[in-house]
Chain A
Amino acid sequence: MNKLGKIGIGFFILIVVFSFFKGLPFFILSIVCTLGISLVVWVPLAFFIGTLACKLFGIEKKGPVSKEQQALRDYVSRAKNSGLSSEEIKKALKDKGWSEDEIAAAGDI
């Protein structure tokens, strides 16, 4: 899970907690009414909560690959699990503008 994902999870948890204690308007107003300056506090807090949640739920950190490679790998992995053949996967990716090399670099199709 990357930083953005952790912050997203953290914010989601914060929203749920604030909603539970009827503090959601305060949370939203604290961001809007300070022109987002309060995010200096909320974003690190959300990141911390998100990191904690990822560790608790065992969401692993992925290896260092480019964003495009990561997108391709995720797609290929899910496509294989859903039963698509190698040819179908390659054709779908080629149709969307990916080169042979990029598809090959995405891993074993």
Chain B
Amino acid sequence: MMKFFSDLMQLRNSLRLPHQFDVTPTIPIIIFEVFIVLAVVCLLPILSKHIKKIPLRFFVIFLGVSVFEFFTNPMWLNYKMGAWAYVYQDVSWILIIAWSIMVLSTIVVVDKLFHALKEWYRFGIYLIILTILVLIFEALTIKLGIRHYPFEGKVPIDRYFFFGVPKDALYYVPVCLALMIGFYKYWSFAIDQKNLIPVKKRNWFQCLGISAIAIFLFEIMIDPMAENVNLPRWSYVFHDISFLIMGAWIVIVWLAINFIDKFFIEQNIFNKFIGYLLFIFAFVLPIESWLILNGFVIFNPNVQANFSGFLLPVIKIPVEVAIAIPFYYALIVPFIKYWEIVIYNKELL
């Protein structure tokens, strides 16, 4: 027991270690940071003239972006933002609020201008506008010397395209935006107190299809974080993504959504969300730990570098992996549920 608490204290202390990279900001970076904070401070009151409960909405999108940033932390590096700008390793609250205000403003403006359009079309418009904005923002952070990538210097130069933004961004930006928009829109049903119609006869195949699309797209995006090895060759569908592992996640999510929606039909969105995550966590954690311990999943060096070294008792996997599981599904599930709700409530939305 004493060893456990000593390990826990060691973990806590490791989170407080000084940054292992250059945090000294340049003048342009400080100006950039001040501009972001001012933009948020100015835009929130303007947005609140067009839609109610803006602080709550901003908080929700802030949560969504934070979950994404924490989960995908090893995929990109943010340097030179000043010690004040970081909340965990190189995750910066300034970049999180910048993303948040971009997503929120775009959604509010598009909803205002295209309120007569169906939810599907508006979703497409959000994605197109935000992809352009985010790519410009990404190029700016690269130009300022903030944003770096773990594969820099290890891949040919033609991997990059305009202003140093990698070609991969054309894929991962829309995917991560789709998840963030889905996250916000799902919770906005609760914020707006939409009277969603309870569904008696659920379309199980439809839910399976949406789950498969969501998980496959996200798996491709986070593919650089880990390698799935030692699995039958025929099971690999893209790079090292095996449908044996991905299929297990799809089935678990699919079962979780159908189980909770069937047996906890009277619960509100928040309670159901907790239910989905608990159900998924209970099944995914032991499977994931078995895959790691038996050498089927190997985390890449830049991911391992972020591990504190603290292992979970009994199942002996890094604590970060256990924390990442609910983070991963906290983004996936709202996206799936958002589309389900849109399909089941065509008349309302």
Q: A67 is contacted by which of B4, B8, B264, B313 (Cβ under 8 Å)?
A: B264
CB–CB B266/A34 < 8 A: no
CB–CB A32/B312 < 8 A: yes
B206 within 8 A of A: no
CB–CB B198/A75 < 8 A: yes
A92 within 8 A of B: yes
CB–CB B323/A75 < 8 A: no
CB–CB A72/B198 < 8 A: yes
CB-defined contacts of A5 to chain B, threshold 8 Å: 267-268, 271
Roughly how many angstroms separate A78 CA and B76 CA in the complex, as a whole number?
46
Given A25-B12, A29-B11: A82 and B200 within 8 A (CB)? no
CB-defined contacts of B323 to chain A, threshold 8 Å: 28, 32
The chain A residue sitting closest to B323, CB to CB, is: A32
CB-defined contacts of B322 to chain A, threshold 8 Å: 32
CB–CB B199/A97 < 8 A: yes
CB-defined contacts of B11 to chain A, threshold 8 Å: 29, 33
Q: Which of B1-60 contact A (CB under 8 A)?
A: 4, 8, 11-12, 15
B314 within 8 A of A: yes
CB-defined contacts of A33 to chain B, threshold 8 Å: 4, 8, 11, 310, 312-313, 319
Q: A92 is contacted by which of B12, B15, B197, B319 (Cβ under 8 Å)?
A: B197
Q: Which of B236-284 contact A (CB under 8 A)?
A: 263-268, 270-271, 274-275
Q: Which of A58-95 contact B (CB under 8 A)?
A: 67-68, 70-72, 74-75, 78-79, 82, 92-93, 95
CB-defined contacts of B265 to chain A, threshold 8 Å: 67-68, 71
What's the count of A-B pairs with C-beta under 8 Å? 75
CB-defined contacts of A95 to chain B, threshold 8 Å: 197
Given A33-B310, A35-B314: A92 and B347 within 8 A (CB)? yes
CB–CB B319/A71 < 8 A: no
CB–CB A96/B195 < 8 A: no
Give the shortest distance, in Å, between A65 (CB) and chain B (any CB). Answer: 9
Which 9 interchain pairs have the tightest Cβ spacing? A97-B201, A97-B200, A70-B266, A71-B198, A78-B195, A71-B266, A67-B266, A71-B265, A96-B199
The contact sample of 30 A-B pairs, CB cut-off 8 A, is A4-B267, A4-B271, A5-B271, A8-B274, A26-B12, A29-B11, A29-B319, A32-B312, A33-B8, A33-B310, A33-B319, A34-B313, A35-B313, A67-B263, A67-B264, A67-B266, A68-B198, A70-B266, A72-B198, A75-B195, A75-B196, A78-B193, A78-B195, A79-B195, A82-B195, A92-B347, A96-B199, A96-B200, A96-B201, A97-B200
Q: Which residues of B contact A (CB under 8 A)?
A: 4, 8, 11-12, 15, 193, 195-201, 263-268, 270-271, 274-275, 310, 312-315, 319, 322-323, 344, 347
Given A33-B11, A74-B266, A97-B199, 18 further pairs, Cβ under 8 A: A4-B264, A5-B271, A8-B274, A29-B319, A33-B310, A34-B313, A35-B312, A67-B264, A68-B265, A71-B198, A71-B266, A75-B196, A92-B347, A96-B199, A96-B201, A96-B344, A98-B200, A102-B200
